[in-house]
Amino acid sequence: MTRQARYGKFIAQDGRGQELADLLLTAAAGLEGEAGCELYLINRQTDAPDTVWVTEVWRSQADLDAALAQVRGSSEAAEAFRLVKSAEMIELDLLGGTGLAPSEA
């Protein structure tokens, strides 16, 4: 299995950054105990409070795909995307570092 890592950059409608961040934090709490989710962090950009970043690390592409299938079309996802002016997903090659347990693969 190859870990999957990515950044999500979401720019909220003007003045709605905290509301978007709160919805994403709720989503993150729902991932607690999800075996395939190794890291899911929500950050708000200091100098642009309507910009919210999500940092994700998944055990595998299959785990990421399963999580996306679970939320796709949900009322929670619709509520969050209603607040989004623009979104960008940045796929990453995870090389290593500090903070994650070693991969079992």
Ordered structural domains, the chain, with CATH: 4-92 (3.30.70.100)
Give the closest residue to 93 by CA, choosing from 23, 10, 4. Answer: 4
57 contact partners, CB below 8 Å, separation of at least 6: 3, 4, 5, 37, 38, 39, 40, 94, 100
Which residue(s) pair with 79 in the sheet?
none
Which structure tokens are listed for 25?
């934090």
Cα–Cα dist 40/27, whole Å: 9
Q: What's the whole-model pTM score?
A: 0.89
Segment 66-74 shows an average pLDDT of: 84
Q: Would the CA dihedral through 21, 27, 29, 33 be positive or negative? A: negative
Q: Are 79 and 16 in contact (CB under 8 A)?
A: no
2-6, 66-70, 73-77, 80-84: least confidently modelled range? 73-77
Query: Which pLDDT belongs to residue 104?
Result: 63
Give the closest residue to 82 by CA, choosing from 31, 22, 6, 13. Answer: 13
Q: Are 24 and 18 in contact (CB under 8 A)?
A: no
Cα–Cα dist 51/71, whole Å: 21
Q: What is the pLDDT of residues 16-63, one digit of tens each?
A: 999 999 999 998 888 888 889 999 999 999 999 999 999 999 999 999
